[in-house]
């Protein structure tokens, strides 16, 4: 799908969509609990639907009516799925559920779309090899087979926190006290805190024992009702309209949220005031929109950007490619990105979304100031299906071509 964004000044307020990071965690915790839970405020974005489908295949019973998911839990140690678990393009779904699939002694097959199966999985592969579990990746498929038997868990913290989250979910089933030791600098710690918060809400004793050690005690997940909070990651795209001349506000965000991407507000403020240096180590998903905002303002230097290569696209490279069409001058290095102050203009050619929802939304924000046509705009369905509808609510003319 191609969309044309016409030049306009965004104005008004919209409610932030539900957090998919929170939804993944609440749905999984509910699915691991005995009994029935109800999770309200669930977004029907592609990533969340992937998690629902895979949990159902493993043995949960999840039905969705409106924005409420009713979840009847299952015992993952007895899981015996007869179909492939298709994770679509959701890295969270795949990495969160592989350890759960390893709890039983049955072979479980995972599939995916887009670049999902190209994203790093070495931590699970090495863990399975060390403890004589099966992990086979070939032909765009992953097959795993337990039962999970690892006694010690020591993981790198600079690859993806999703591996740590996946293992945290299963530790209550392994008996006694279980620990995960982080062996390197930890990035995206806030996502682990979200996981611990969800586990505690559903009855599990899980916490940081010290700066580098996570402790989880044996226990049972307890069915609870919960509500998904608003998504700071998505709200960043709406509030960034202010950096390109709009006057907008985003509603429905918890002030006490544990989401790491809540820092977008201070980062956008800093970018509007002058050239700054910002680390993306704990907020890599903000990279595309912060690059865009800095190009529209005074430029900036971003550090800890290496992990942007392994997202839905090589985000630093493709954002440099697309923002160049607006006249931006961006220098991409191994672990840093410098956005130089430039005179921007209407894009010289069609903008490409690179099958990446955050790239599409970032380009759309800048296009409200300079106009532009974006190809592959349907990628927003991955996380924020209502994005273009919300732009229209903010008085931006959006036309599907």
Name residue, tokens 């994203």: 119
Cβ atoms 255, 285 nearer than 8 A: no
The CA-atom distances, in angstroms, between 18 and each of 22, 259, 350 are: 8, 12, 31
What tokens were used for 188?
């995206």
Pick the catalytic residue: 285, 304, 356, 386?
285
Cβ atoms 308, 354 nearer than 8 A: no
Return the H-helix or E-strand segment holding 251: strand 247-251
| Residue 190 to residue 262: CA distance in whole angstroms | 10
- Reduced to 3 states, what is the DSSP secondary structure of residue 3? strand
| Dihedral angle, C-alpha 307, 312, 316, 317, nearest 10 ° | 120
Cβ atoms 198, 259 nearer than 8 A: no
Partnered with residue 329 across adjacent β-strands are: 340
Cβ atoms 58, 74 nearer than 8 A: yes
Partnered with residue 161 across adjacent β-strands are: none
β pairing state of 372-375 and 351-352: parallel
| Dihedral angle, C-alpha 303, 307, 310, 312, nearest 10 ° | -60
Nearest to 307 by CA among 348, 337, 275, 328: 337
Q: Is 285 a catalytic residue?
A: yes
Q: State the DSSP code for 34.
A: B
What tokens were used for 63?
């039905």
| Residue 91 to residue 193: CA distance in whole angstroms | 18
User: Buried b vs exposed e over 8-33: b needs ≥16 C-beta within 10 Å?
Assistant: bebeeebebbbbbbbbbbbbbbbbbb
| Residue 286 to residue 267: CA distance in whole angstroms | 10
β pairing state of 153-155 and 177-182: parallel
| Residue 146 to residue 377: CA distance in whole angstroms | 40
Residues assigned a catalytic role: 285
């Amino acid at each position: 799908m191609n969309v044309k964004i016409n030049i306009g000044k965004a104005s008004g307020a919209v409610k932030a969509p539900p957090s998919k990071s929170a939804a993944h965690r609440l749905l999984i915790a509910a699915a691991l609990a005995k009994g029935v839970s109800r999770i309200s405020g669930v977004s029907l974005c592609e990533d969340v639907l992937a998690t629902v489908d895979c949990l159902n295949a493993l043995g949960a019973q999840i039905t969705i009516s409106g924005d409420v998911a009713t979840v009847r839990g299952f015992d993952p140690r007895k899981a015996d799925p007869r179909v492939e678990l298709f994770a679509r393009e959701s890295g969270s779904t795949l990495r969160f559920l592989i350890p759960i699939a390893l709890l039983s002694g049955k072979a479980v097959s995972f599939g995916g779309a887009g670049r999902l199966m190209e994203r790093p999985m070495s931590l699970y592969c090495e863990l399975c090899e060390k403890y004589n579990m099966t992990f086979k990746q070939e032909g765009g498929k992953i097959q795993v087979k337990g039962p999970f038997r690892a006694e010690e868990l020591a993981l790198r913290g600079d690859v993806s926190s999703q591996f740590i989250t996946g293992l945290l979910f299963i530790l209550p089933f392994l008996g006694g006290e279980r620990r995960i030791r982080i062996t390197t600098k930890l990035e995206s710690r806030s996502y682990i805190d979200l996981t611990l918060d969800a586990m505690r809400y559903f009855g599990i004793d899980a916490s940081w024992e010290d700066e580098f050690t996570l402790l989880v005690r044996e226990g049972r997940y307890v069915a609870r009702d919960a509500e998904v909070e608003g998504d700071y990651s998505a709200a960043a795209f709406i509030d960034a309209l202010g950096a390109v001349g709009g006057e907008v506000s985003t509603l429905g965000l918890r002030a006490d949220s544990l989401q790491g991407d809540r820092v977008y507000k201070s980062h956008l403020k800093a970018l509007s005031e002058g050239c700054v240096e910002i680390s993306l180590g704990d907020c890599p998903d903000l990279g595309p929109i912060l690059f865009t905002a800095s190009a529209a303002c005074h430029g900036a230097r971003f550090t800890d950007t290496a992990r942007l290569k392994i997202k839905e696209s090589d985000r630093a490279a493709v954002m440099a490619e697309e923002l160049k069409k607006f006249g931006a001058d961006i220098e991409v290095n191994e672990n840093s990105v410098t956005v130089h102050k430039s005179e921007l203009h209407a894009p010289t050619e069609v903008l490409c979304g690179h099958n990446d929802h955050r790239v599409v939304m970032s380009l759309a924000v800048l296009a409200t100031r300079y106009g532009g046509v974006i190809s592959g705009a349907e990628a927003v369905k991955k996380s924020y299906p209502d994005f273009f509808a919300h732009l229209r609510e903010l008085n931006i003319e959006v036309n599907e071509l």
